[in-house]
Amino acid sequence: MITIEYLGESEDGKACKRCGGRPLNVKITRKKIFGRLWEVGKPQQVSFDDFDMYMATGLFEKK
């Protein structure tokens, strides 16, 4: 298992990048992605098989 964290999204749907450990311009803090509910600041574990699928969205970072 690998732990990843949802970064959140701005109004235009782009991933929020972190600056000094805090997300910037976060408008979407909860979202259902691939059937799972994700929240900013609440990392979850995903299988090795699903890891690439989540990372390809650009909305997650590895913890």
Count structural domains, the chain: 1
Say which amino acid occupies 50.
D
Where in the sequence is the domain holding 28, given as residue range(s)? 2-62
- Evaluate if pTM is beyond 0.85: no
Q: Average pLDDT, whole number, for the chain?
A: 86
* pLDDT of 22: 58
* Residue predicted with more confidence, 45 or 22: 45
* pLDDT of 60: 93
Token couple for 17: 């990048």
Q: Exposure of 59 by Cβ count < 10 A (0-12 exposed, 13-18 middle, 19+ buried)?
A: buried
